[in-house]
Amino acid sequence: MKRNRLDGLMKMSDHKTRSALVPALLWLVCVSLFCLTAYGGIRTPDGEVVFRTGEALARHGTVALDNDLEAWPEFGLPVGKDGRRYSLFGPVQSILLAPFIRAAQELNQNRWYEHRPIPISFAVDRLSFRSYILKQRPANMEPHALRFLVALFVPLVASIVVILQFLIVRRLTGHWVAAFITALLLGLGTPLWHYSGTMFTEPLAMAFSLAAFLLLLPSSRGGAAAWRYSATVVVAGLLLGLACATHISAILSVPFFFLFAMPARSDGNGTSSGRVCSTTAVAFLAGICLITIMYGWYNHMRFGSVFETGRTAASPVVYDVFTAPWEGLAGLLISPGKGIFWFCPVLIVSLFWWPRFHRRYRWLSSVVIGMVLLRLIFFACRSNWHSGFCLGTRYILLVLPFLLLPVGFRLADFFTEDRRVSVWRPAAVGLLLFACIVQQLYFCLGEPISFYYMLKMVNLQHGISIIENNQIYFQWGASPLLHLFDGRRGPFFLQAVPLGQWGLLALCVLGMALLLGLLTFYLIHVNRKLYK
């Protein structure tokens, strides 16, 4: 009897060890690829504003800046009530960057960067982008080295997003392999891979949103567990509030997360309990309200109003206004420069499986549809629907993990169906998903942001303003989908590879096929051990 009990404990320990190794391996693969293909600097004025706010916090303990961006005067830094400049972007990423910046400053004291190639950040000063275009090394490389080190923050955050997606799909489907593939697909088969190499705040907002959603998923019920669950819902509200304070557009998800929380507790026949729902509502709103109050105080201290984030403060820059949604809808969905179905075709696979998902999980499906439609329509009604010079439309990033849920559920069905069923469907789906990963690899090997800037400059030399009326986003001749390799190579760590862009892509595709093949054999092995 003791021997059998010992064997059972050993099997349980082995099961837990393998269960922990699966997400660890997923994280290692994603963070390694994210870092390998990262640019290694800051390429956008948005990212520069976020960085400089964190730098001011690290150096002086304040979020106020004395000067605006030299290369983009008046952008992103409206004047506050004390005459100093403040970021119009949410403060959370800048706050989290501050310790990274402080550590990078300490590392830079030994001037390790003086005789090493360092990528040029575009907005360090007025001449930085010119130096990038002319391939000239600036005289002072310290600011670029600082941004190079701090830029590793976003790949770490993006890899956490992948792990959270894994935990969510595993909780919903109960299947490890389906969760692993869906999370890997989010990391490598969507534009999240490219955005892991930028200083945009969307990946961090995604991480907070997914963590909140994970906490809202059904858990134990009754007795003391009810109080523990209420505390969990408070934390979920706090996390969603932090997402809003990271990227203000996360506020569009608040009512739908509220709906996610409501049916999380129910009686035996699936009817929600009014008492439990009211408790859940108060707990969830308490978490959000706490962050909202802090964010309002932060706005009041800067601009004199709890509702002023800086976007409508006195400034010569008009960021965006409400407009008719027709151009925005066409642009967000199918335009050559921004269409989400062109830049993230895995969503077509997800939509193909959505009816099946909706029939089986109607409540979850309906709430996700509402959340996606509200975000889509809201940004279609904004003049800045295109989100500027970046890959595709980053405004849809925050809902990408939810749009991939049908993929996770369908993969779980594939792996639990009768073994006598033909394997051609999973094989065909696997090839299609691999093609989506190859496309994102193509985007990562190029450099979309400088591609747009150089395209703009070339056309201005001929007296053509391609940004007028957003025409740049509706022309196939100006689309990164077809012409990205006409520009520069993006990843810093791959700059020295002595191959052309297409040759490097072919080499990376072979390496990716080998890596995914090894992962496939590993997953088969783990699946047999976990489910035998």
265 pLDDT more than 60: no
Quote the CA–CA distance of 478 and 476 in Å, as a whole number. Answer: 5
Whether residue 90 is contained in a domain is answered as yes
Q: Which of residues 268, 297, 317 is at a domain's end?
A: 317
Whether residue 461 is contained in a domain is answered as no
Dump pLDDT digits (tens) for 449-471. Answer: 999 998 888 887 777 777 777 88
Quote the CA–CA distance of 145 and 206 in Å, as a whole number. Answer: 27
Helix, strand or coil, per DSSP, at residue 466: coil
DSSP state of 420: T
Whether residue 96 is contained in a domain is answered as yes
Instruction: Mean pLDDT check: name the lowest of 1-15, 68-82, 200-214, 487-501.
Output: 1-15
Mean pLDDT of 315-343: 86
Helix ranges restricted to H, 247-361? 254-261, 274-303, 325-334, 340-343, 346-360
Give residue 271's pLDDT band: very low, low, confident or very high (50, 70, 90).
very low
Please give the backbone phi and psi of residue 240, each rounded to the nearest 5 degrees, phi first.
-65, -35
Dump pLDDT digits (tens) for 156-208. Answer: 999 999 999 999 999 999 888 889 999 999 999 999 999 999 999 999 999 99
Provide the token pair at 201: 């705040």
Dump pLDDT digits (tens) for 38-50. Answer: 999 999 999 999 9
- Measure the CA angle with vertex 362, ends 357 and 365; round to 5°: 65
Whether residue 168 is contained in a domain is answered as no
Number of domains in the chain: 2
Asked if residues 147 and 121 have their Cβ atoms less than 8 Å apart, the reply is: yes
Same domain, 128 and 220: no
Instruction: Mean pLDDT check: name the lowest of 55-69, 229-243, 271-285.
Output: 271-285
Whether residue 208 is contained in a domain is answered as yes
Count CB atoms within 10 A of the CB of residue 362: 10
Give every CB contact of residue 270 below 8 A, 6+ residues apart in sequence: none
286 pLDDT more than 50: yes
What percent of the chain shows pLDDT beyond 90?
62
Give residue 424's pLDDT band: very low, low, confident or very high (50, 70, 90).
low
Same domain, 133 and 241: no
DSSP state of 29: H
Mean pLDDT of 57-79: 88
Asked if residues 37 and 494 have their Cβ atoms less than 8 Å apart, the reply is: yes
Asked if residues 144 and 120 have their Cβ atoms less than 8 Å apart, the reply is: yes
Whether residue 448 is contained in a domain is answered as no
Same domain, 129 and 227: no
119 class by beta-carbon count within 10 Å (0-12 exposed, 13-18 middle, 19+ buried): buried
- Residue 16 has a pLDDT of 55
What residues pair up with 272 in beta bridges, in sequence order?
Answer: 266
Provide the token pair at 103: 């550590």
Angle between helices 362-380 and 254-261 (to 10 degrees): 170
Write out the E strands in 351-500: none
Same domain, 99 and 205: no
Q: Which of residues 317, 337, 372 is at a domain's end?
A: 317
Quote the CA–CA distance of 353 and 432 in Å, as a whole number. Answer: 14
Whether residue 398 is contained in a domain is answered as no
Whether residue 522 is contained in a domain is answered as no
Asked if residues 199 and 42 have their Cβ atoms less than 8 Å apart, the reply is: yes
DSSP state of 82: T
Provide the token pair at 251: 């506020």
Q: Which of residues 128, 150, 172 is at a domain's end?
A: 150
Of the candidates 306, 331, 305, 97, the residue with the CA atom closest to the CA atom of residue 200: 97
Same domain, 138 and 209: no
Same domain, 69 and 136: yes
Give every CB contact of residue 352 below 8 A, 6+ residues apart in sequence: none
What residues pair up with 85 in beta bridges, in sequence order?
Answer: 65, 79
Asked if residues 167 and 213 have their Cβ atoms less than 8 Å apart, the reply is: no
Domain ranges, residue 229 = 201-317
- Residue 468 has a pLDDT of 75
Mean pLDDT of 503-511: 96
Give residue 497's pLDDT band: very low, low, confident or very high (50, 70, 90).
very high
